[in-house]
Amino acid sequence: MSTLRVTAVRVERRRDGAFAETPTPRLSWTVETEGENWRQGSAEIRLDGSDVARVTGSESVFVDWPFPPLAPRARHTLEVRVTGADGEVSPWSDPVTLRSVFLGEGEWRAALVGLADPAGEPCPGLVRAEFDVAKDVAAATLYATAHGVYQAQINGRDVDDAVLKPGWSSYQYRIEHEATDVTALVERGRNAVGMCFAGGWFTEKFGFHGQARRVYGADQPAVAAQLHLTYTDGTSEVVASGPDWRGAAAGVVVTSGIYDGERLDARRAVPGWSEPGFDDAGWPSVVVRDLDVVPSPALAEPVRRTQEVPVREVITTPSGRTVLDFGQNLVGRLRVRVSGPAGEVITLRHAEVLEHGELGVRPLRHAKATDELVLSGGEDVFEPAFTFHGFRYAEVTGWPGALDLDTARAAITAVVIGSDMHRTGWFECSEPLVNQLHENVVWGMRGNFLSIPTDCPQRDERLGWTGDIQVFSPTAATLFDSDAFLADWLRDVAAEQAASDGVLGFVVPQVLPDGDRPAAAWGDAATVVPTVLFERFGDRRALAEQYPSMRSWVDKLVELAGERMLWEGMFQFGDWLDPDSPPDRPGEAKVDQEIVAGAHLVRSARLVARAARELDRPNDAAYYDDVAERARRSWLREYTTPAGRIVSDAQTAYAMAIAYDLVDDETRQVMGDRLAELVRRADFHIGTGFVGTPIIADALTDTGHADVAGRLLLQTGVPSWLYAVTMGATTVWERWDSMLPDGTINPGQMTSFNHYAFGAVADWMYRRLAGLAPAAPGYRQLRIAPVPVAGIEHASARHETPYGVAEAGWRAAGDGDLLVRAVVPANTTAVVELPGTAPYDVGSGRHEWTVADPRVAGDGARAAV
C-alpha cells in the first residue's frame, strides 16, 4: 500500500491558520512518504472541491496562487495532491479552510475611539456598543486595532486567545488589524461588542537615564473595530466603532504600563459590560481620535499564552521577604487565585535573579516590573492583561495567610507569553552543559520574540535593537518558523528607513532620540535579515519586498564611505560587549570600531549584489559587486599587513576577515591559524562581543580548526558560553559575566539575564557540529556535513524545514569509527560531506554511513587538540 501523502497545506507564512493577507497568497505543502529518492513531478490544487489547478514541476514551497485573485472576506477550502516523478499519485490532502483577512479599497470604516473622561494618563478603559441581528448569519468577521493594546469581546466572550493586540509596529507608518472569525459568537437578536484596552507601547515613555518620553504624540489609548456580518440571504452589514459608542474608565485594570506593570482591583469588575442589555446610561459617549494610516492585516502569529510554569520553590530571603522561584527565566505574568479581605493589596515584584539572597532589581533600572492586586473580599483570579515581565523570581507581599510551597503551587502560576511561532529546531549531544545552553537559547528567543524582536524583556528597554536580530536571525530561523514574524518586522524596517534617507537606525520601531543614526552590524539588519529569510525559508517575496531597503542602506554607506571607501569618523557600537570591555564602557573592544564598520560595508554590498542576481537585476548586481570589491581592497590596504596580520590583533577581526570572505585563500588560512592561536593563548576563552561571537566558530571550522572551536564551546570558565550555564542560567545573558563568580550582579548599568545575541552559536551547533545545514534556499537541498569535536561523543539535530523534517547526527562507534545518520525530506536532496570522503549527492529518505572518526589517530588514540 502506498505511503505517499500530502500534509501541512499552508497559505503564505503563518502556521496558526490559513490566512490570505493578499488576493494572491502563496501556497506550500509537505509530502511524506516512506519511499526513497521521491521527487514531485506535478501537483493539483483543488479549490472548494471542484476548481482544480495543475502545477507542473517539483516546487512545493511558496507556489504562486493559481486561481483568480481572492475577494475580501472570502472563505474557501483548499486541498492538494501530488504526482511523483515515478507517476504515483497521492490522495487529496485533508482540506484546509482559507480566509481572506484583507479588506477592499476604502472598506475600513471604523473610527478610532477613546475615553471622553479618562481618570489618569494613560487610562485603561472599556468601550461598548449594541446592535441587532435580524437574519441568520452565515459569517461574521471582526476587524479591530488600537493605538494601544486591547481585547475585544462579543456577548461577554473574548473573540480569541491573543493578548497585547495588535502588537507593536511603527504606528506613524503602519498599524495592523486582526481579522477574527466570530461567527459562533454572534446571535440572532440583540448583541453587544466591547473592547477593554490600555496604552501599551503606544503611550509608553521610551528613553534612558531618566529621560524617557512619549514618542507617538498621545497620552491616551484608543481602539477601533468593525464587525462585518454576512447573512445567509447574501446581504451584509457592518457594525463600526464611532461617536455613538460609549466608554468609561472602568474595569479591573486601574493602571497599566509595559515597564511599570499593572494595578488590578477586583472590586472594579463590571459584570455584563460586553453583553446586551447592560445599562451604560452613566457612560459618556466616546471621543473620536485621529487614525493617520489605514490598518493592514497582520502578517504574523499574534502574541499568546504559550505555556504555564509552576512554582518550584518558596524562598524566605535574609531580610524575611517571601520570594517565589519558578526555576526558569521566562517572559509573561502571574495568574493568582486568592481569597482575602476586601481592599487588601498583594504586591508582586519581578526580577530575573537573586543577589545575596534578595530580589535583584537593580538591572531593571527605571522599570518597576510590579503588579498590585486589590482583593474583592471573595475568591479572585487575577492575571495582568496589558503588560509583561521578564523574571524567574517574584517577591510577594501582602498575601493573606501563610504562603508555603503547596499553597503557592495551588494559587500562583507563571503564564508564559510570546509571539506564537511554531517550534522547528531541536539539538542534543553527549554534553549536558551544551544541551542546557541550547535550551537557554530557545528560552531566550521565546521570551524576546514578543511582537517584535526585542533585546531584553525585563528592564526599561525591550526595544527592537537591529544589531541583536542581525546576529541572531540565522539561529531564529532554525529554532522557530520565524519567517512571518521577521517579514512583518521588516516592513517597519523599510518604513523607518524611508523616513530617514535610507538609514536604518539602532532600534525598530525607532523611539530613541538619537536612534536614527547608522551603525555597522546594527543597520546591516536591513541586508542580513531578508537574506536569512530567503536562505532558510525560500521566501523570495521577502527578498523582493525588502530589496529597496537593502539597496538604500548600502547606498547610504557608499555615501558615508566617500572616495576612500572606508566607513570612518562616525559613532559605532563596534564589537559591543567584548568580554574585556569595562562594565561602564561596553563599546570599548579589542578590535577597532572602524575595522568592524569597513568589513560590514563589504558584507552588505555583497548581500545586495546577491539579491540583485536572484531578482534578475544584473546591472544592480554588477554595481554592488564593484562596491564590495572596492571596499574590500580599501579595508585590506588600511587594516592588514602583507604577512596576514590585522591591525587589531583580536579574535573578532580575524573571524570577520574569514567569515565575510575579505581575503584570498592563502591569507585566509594564515588568518585562521592566527585566530586559533589567539584562542589558545586565551586558554580557549571567548574573546568576542556581539559582532565576533556569531561567526568565530565558523571561522575556526572553515580554516581547519574545528578542534579549537570545540574547546571554545566546551570552556566553562568566565568568559565562555558555558560559564552562565554553570552559574544556573536558564537563558542567555547580555554580558559574558552578567553575574560575577561570587554571585554579585555585574556593576555595569546595562545588565540583562535574557539577551539572545550570544546564543547565535546555536546555529553553528546545528550546521557544523551536528551537520545539518541548508545548501539551497529553503532547504531545497540539504548539506549533511558533521564536524565531530573532542569532548563530545554524539550530536544530532532535527529541523522542520519547509519541505519536511530533516535530521542529521553522528555517534562515536567506539572502534575508531563514526556512525552518521540523516533523514532527507521528500522532494529534496542532500549533498553529503563526511570526514575523509569526497562530497556526493543523495535523494530523500533515511541514510546511514560509517566512516573513520577523524579525531582518532592511526594507533587508535584520540588526536591531540
Reference 531, options 468, 428, 611; nearest CA is 611
pLDDT tens by residue, 106-135: 999 999 999 999 999 999 999 999 999 999
Instruction: Return the pLDDT at 209.
Output: 85
Residue 703 sits at the vertex; the CA angle it makes with 698 and 704, to the nearest 5 degrees, is 100
Share of the chain above pLDDT 70, in %: 99
Choose the catalytic residue: 461, 496, 594, 807. Answer: 461
Coil, strand or helix at 191: strand
pLDDT tens by residue, 91-100: 999 999 999 9
Rounded CA-CA distance 37/499 in Å is 50
pLDDT tens by residue, 746-760: 999 999 999 999 999
User: Per-residue pLDDT for 449 more than 90?
Assistant: yes
What 8-state DSSP symbol labels residue 860?
Answer: S
Rounded CA-CA distance 566/283 in Å is 63
| Whole-number Cα distances in Å, 259 to 163, 348, 352 | 17, 14, 15
Instruction: Return the pLDDT at 814.
Output: 82
Question: Which ranges in 449-498 belong to alpha helices (H)?
Answer: 466-479, 483-498
Rounded CA-CA distance 521/532 in Å is 15
Query: Position 91: which residue type?
Result: P
- Cell, residue 703: 580554516
User: Per-residue pLDDT for 864 more than 50?
Assistant: no
CB neighbour class for 205 (10 Å; exposed up to 12, middle 13-18, buried from 19): middle
Q: Look at the chain and count its residues.
A: 865
Those residues with Cβ within 8 angstroms of residue 831's Cβ, 6 or more apart along the chain or in another chain: 775, 781, 782, 783, 784, 785, 839, 840, 841
Rounded CA-CA distance 568/635 in Å is 11
Rounded CA-CA distance 843/831 in Å is 9
- Cell, residue 824: 532527507
Rounded CA-CA distance 391/480 in Å is 22
pLDDT tens by residue, 368-421: 999 999 999 999 999 999 999 999 999 999 999 999 999 999 999 999 999 999
Q: Cell 508555603 identifies what position?
A: 404
Cα dihedral 109→110→111→115 (10° resolution): 170
Tally of CB atoms within 10 A around 254: 18
Instruction: Return the pLDDT at 865.
Output: 38
* DSSP string of 292-324, one letter each residue: -S--EE--SPPEEEEEEEE--EEEE-TTS-EEE
Rounded CA-CA distance 81/79 in Å is 7
Q: E-strand spans in 300-411?
A: 303-310, 313-316, 322-339, 345-351, 354-355, 358-359, 370-374, 379-382, 389-397
Rounded CA-CA distance 783/648 in Å is 34
Domains in the chain, start-ordered, CATH in brackets? 5-100 (2.60.40.10), 112-248+270-297 (2.60.120.260), 303-419 (2.60.120.260), 777-852 (2.60.420.10)
For 646, the enclosing helix (H) or strand (E) is none
Q: Are strands 345-351 and 236-240 parallel, antiparallel or unpaired?
A: unpaired
| Whole-number Cα distances in Å, 567 to 477, 559, 594, 607, 631 | 30, 9, 6, 18, 9
| Whole-number Cα distances in Å, 624 to 156, 252, 603, 620, 658 | 58, 57, 11, 6, 20
pLDDT tens by residue, 262-287: 999 999 999 999 999 999 999 999 99
- What average pLDDT does this structure show over 146-158? 98
Instruction: Return the pLDDT at 2.
Output: 66
Cα dihedral 4→7→10→14 (10° resolution): -140
Q: Cβ(624)–Cβ(650) under 8 Å?
A: no
| Whole-number Cα distances in Å, 47 to 26, 141, 500, 768 | 14, 21, 44, 42
Q: Cβ(473)–Cβ(535) under 8 Å?
A: no
Those residues with Cβ within 8 angstroms of residue 339's Cβ, 6 or more apart along the chain or in another chain: 375, 378, 379, 380, 400
User: Per-residue pLDDT for 440 more than 80?
Assistant: yes
Going by pLDDT thresholds of 50, 70 and 90, the confidence category of residue 861 is very low
Reference 691, options 508, 467, 475, 478; nearest CA is 467
CB neighbour class for 211 (10 Å; exposed up to 12, middle 13-18, buried from 19): exposed
3-state secondary structure 196-262: EEECHHHHCEECCCCCCEECCCCCCCEEEEEEEEEECCCCEEEEECCCCCEEECCCCEEEEECCCEE
Reference 350, options 442, 459, 277, 264; nearest CA is 459
pLDDT tens by residue, 306-341: 999 999 999 999 999 999 999 999 999 999 999 999
Rounded CA-CA distance 89/33 in Å is 12
Choose the catalytic residue: 301, 496, 594, 734. Answer: 734
What 8-state DSSP symbol labels residue 439?
Answer: H
Those residues with Cβ within 8 angstroms of residue 574's Cβ, 6 or more apart along the chain or in another chain: 520, 587, 589, 591, 592, 593, 596, 689, 691
Those residues with Cβ within 8 angstroms of residue 481's Cβ, 6 or more apart along the chain or in another chain: 15, 421, 422, 424, 537, 800
pLDDT tens by residue, 344-374: 999 999 999 999 999 999 999 999 999 999 9
Query: Position 509: which residue type?
Result: P
Rounded CA-CA distance 525/548 in Å is 14
Catalogue the long-range contacts made by 216-219 (C-beta closer than 8 Å, 24 or more residues apart). Answer: 216/147, 216/171, 216/172, 218/147, 218/289, 219/121, 219/122
For residue 783, the cross-strand partners are 773, 831
- Is 105 considered catalytic here? no
Instruction: Return the pLDDT at 857.
Output: 63
- Is 734 considered catalytic here? yes
Share of the chain above pLDDT 90, in %: 97
Rounded CA-CA distance 380/304 in Å is 22
User: Per-residue pLDDT for 860 more than 90?
Assistant: no
- Cell, residue 475: 539561529
| Whole-number Cα distances in Å, 338 to 157, 271, 276, 346 | 23, 19, 30, 10
For residue 46, the cross-strand partners are 52, 79
For 657, the enclosing helix (H) or strand (E) is helix 651-659
